[in-house]
Amino acid sequence: MARQTDGARRRVLIAQAHLAAKQAGCACEEDRRAIQQRVTGKASCAEMTERELVRLIDHWRRMGADVRAAAPRVADAPGMATRWQLATIERLAWAMGWSEGLEDARLVGFIRRTARVDGVRWLDRAAASRVISGLMNWKRQRQAKEMRA
């Protein structure tokens, strides 16, 4: 499979956002734009960043759509984190409430502590697995703590 360019991923995300809105039952463009404004601060998908588009798609998934955001680009070097791993890390970051996705400072700090690398782009497959496991455990701990409170 050819490497996905930033522009290509963005176009796919825009199409997925529109499809997700339709699947979630939002048929009226005016209502869809109002929800987009509330979720991302922008009424038009064309004005949104990739991060905002992923956040919007995740919102539509919570509302019942059966669409997942396209995975981020993967490094070309063999042994680097897979697209699935990067997408999982991105989704877990969103679930933790970290709104900047893969570039969020809190996620980068967690990756530095867990994998001993300076950012997502330097993760190999084993390190990405450690980050995913750590984030999942942290998320479970937070949920258990909320249940007790």
Residues 143 and 91 in one domain: yes
Beta strands (DSSP E) in 10-121 are: none
Residue 73 lies in a domain: no
Residues 99 and 56 in one domain: no
What pTM was computed for the model? Answer: 0.54
Residue 98 lies in a domain: yes
The domain in which residue 11 lies consists of: 6-62
122 CB burial (10 A radius; 0-12, 13-18, 19+): middle
Residue 119 has pLDDT above 90, yes or no: no
pLDDT at 64: 87
Residue 130 has pLDDT above 80, yes or no: yes
Quick one: which of 65, 83, 66 has its CA closest to 74?
A: 83
pLDDT at 109: 93
pLDDT at 3: 44
Residues 58 and 87 in one domain: no
